[in-house]
């Protein structure tokens, strides 16, 4: 049987489906994945309550069928909910999602179900039921306002011919003996089955060229080009992409020193190197929050008062229960002075958190607006192509940049070494049943990890300054 999960894997890439069928899909469920799954279950439970207590009373003589399964030959789908109308029997389908917006995958999910249902029962409407991104928590959860119900019937009916063709192709793909004839994905860094999709991927491939479009990837593959170093000069690339391709050929870093000096010359001392740690919750935990809003619970801050000077570190982790951003802002506003550049890595994230916290706590709005005004994104040095190293592999992630620029500094061996682990640690401290020793240990690990993020920026900044003087 080809399920809707199988179908969606095929839509990602035919080889992903083949790998699952043949036991070669490398997609273990991480602790963070399990956390998201559990949040999804909570949304499903609330959605069931919503449909039974709020929607159903408005539907006259109707009933709800929970998770009914339908099949059509080799195709099978389990629906989240069907509302059955009596009289001339008809149904409305409700697909429950924990995200706050409709995406293409949601529509293909529902359309696959529709391709099975339409020949067996009369379905009048297709709906997507999901948390309302505009909902603001105040006191107890208001289910009537928490959920959005969006009708997607016209979109689903428009997709049906394509989906019926795709599901036949998916079935055929699942039955081939060798995946060589099937299309592979174009994102090996996120691929769940690299041995199937990219069995002979070179160390520096065309997929390492930053922001290379799918069309251009396919054009290079059509020419038999997989190594980044083999991309011809005649192939159209933007300036940064071309520099990355040249680095693949020469193995030499690219440093635009005039541009680098100009950028670093914009910075005003004292310099503050700032990083937040956050946790996301599908269901708002505190007043003022929206569904799926990031909760800022920790910061790390390194301060450098003068060029070449030593840095001073400060930080804070809020683990006392309640909205952690209140105590965090109290400490942060005392640690950041009124003058000096605030350096972050990926300003979009930190600025968005500051804007959200300003809305939550208007008393700190002026402070946070000033912080946003003074922010400089250190990763822009890489994004703009002013400093590129072959070791970055076309990435601007600090996890890729740091080992290439400062190999002596590493996240390896740390108990917490990535953001999702930090989120889970805070969640366990706040909502778990841990003893004092366990809480103390996790708190120490959180402090060590977040401090590493800002220390990494400090050392990268020093390396960039050194490059200016060479």
Q: Are 387 and 464 in contact (CB under 8 A)?
A: yes
Distance separating alpha carbons of residues 323 and 277, to the nearest angstrom: 14
Task: Assign residue 232 a region (left: φ > 0; alpha: ψ between -120 and 50; beta: otherwise).
Answer: beta
**What integer best gives the mean pLDDT of the chain?**
95
Tens of pLDDT, residue by residue over 66-80, are: 999 999 999 999 999
Six-digit token string for 441: 């240990």
Over 80: is that where the pLDDT of 194 sits? yes
Tens of pLDDT, residue by residue over 199-213, are: 999 999 999 999 999
pLDDT at 362: 98
Kindly calculate the radius of gyration of the chain based on its CA atoms and give it in whole angstroms.
26
Six-digit token string for 382: 């890489």
pTM of the entire predicted model: 0.93
Tens of pLDDT, residue by residue over 313-363, are: 999 999 988 999 999 999 999 999 999 999 999 999 999 999 999 999 999
Tens of pLDDT, residue by residue over 211-267, are: 999 999 999 999 999 999 999 999 999 999 999 999 999 999 999 999 999 999 999
Tens of pLDDT, residue by residue over 435-444, are: 999 999 999 9
Q: Are 159 and 107 in contact (CB under 8 A)?
A: yes
């Amino acid at each position: 049987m080809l399920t809707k999960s199988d179908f969606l894997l095929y839509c990602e890439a035919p080889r992903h489906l083949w790998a699952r069928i043949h036991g070669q899909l490398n997609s273990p469920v991480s602790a963070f994945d399990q956390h998201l799954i559990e949040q999804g279950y909570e949304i499903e439970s609330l959605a069931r309550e919503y449909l039974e207590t709020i929607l159903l009373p408005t539907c006259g003589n109707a009933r709800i069928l929970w998770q009914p399964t339908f099949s059509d030959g080799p195709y099978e789908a389990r629906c989240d909910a069907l509302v059955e109308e009596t009289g001339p029997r008809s149904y409305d389908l409700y697909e429950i999602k924990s995200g706050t917006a409709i995406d293409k995958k949601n529509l293909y999910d529902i359309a696959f179900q529709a391709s099975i249902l339409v020949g067996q029962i009369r379905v009048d409407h297709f709906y997507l039921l999901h948390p309302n991104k505009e909902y603001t928590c105040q006191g107890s959860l208001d289910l009537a306002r928490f959920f959005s119900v969006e009708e997607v019937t016209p979109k689903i009916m428009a997709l049906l011919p394509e989906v019926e063709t795709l599901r036949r192709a998916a079935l055929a793909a699942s039955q081939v003996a060798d995946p060589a004839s099937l299309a592979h994905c174009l994102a090996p860094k996120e691929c769940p089955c690299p041995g199937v999709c990219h069995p002979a991927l070179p160390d520096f491939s065309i997929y390492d060229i930053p922001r290379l479009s799918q069309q251009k990837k396919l054009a290079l593959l059509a020419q038999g080009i997989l190594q980044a170093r083999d991309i011809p000069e005649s192939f159209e690339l933007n300036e940064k992409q071309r520099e990355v391709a040249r680095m693949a050929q020469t193995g030499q870093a690219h440093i635009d020193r005039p541009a680098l000096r100009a950028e670093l010359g914009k910075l005003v001392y004292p310099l503050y190197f700032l990083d937040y740690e956050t946790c996301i919750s599908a269901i708002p935990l505190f007043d003022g929050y929206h569904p799926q809003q990031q909760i800022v619970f920790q910061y790390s801050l390194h301060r450098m008062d003068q060029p070449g000077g030593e840095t001073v570190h400060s930080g804070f982790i809020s683990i006392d229960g309640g909205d952690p951003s209140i105590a965090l802002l109290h400490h942060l506003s005392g640690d950041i002075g009124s003058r000096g550049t605030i350096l972050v890595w990926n300003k979009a994230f930190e600025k968005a958190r500051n804007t959200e916290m300003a809305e939550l706590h208007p008393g700190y709005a002026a402070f946070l607006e000033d912080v946003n005004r003074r922010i400089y994104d250190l990763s822009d040095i890489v994004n703009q192509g002013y400093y590129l190293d072959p070791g970055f592999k076309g990435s601007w992630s600090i996890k890729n940049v740091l080992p290439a620029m400062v190999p002596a500094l590493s996240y390896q061996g740390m108990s917490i070494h990535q953001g999702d682990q930090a989120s889970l640690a805070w969640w366990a401290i706040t909502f778990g049943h841990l003893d004092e020793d366990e809480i103390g240990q996790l708190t120490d690990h959180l402090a060590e990890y977040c401090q590493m993020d800002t220390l990494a920026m400090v050392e990268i900044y020093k390396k960039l300054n050194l490059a200016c003087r060479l």
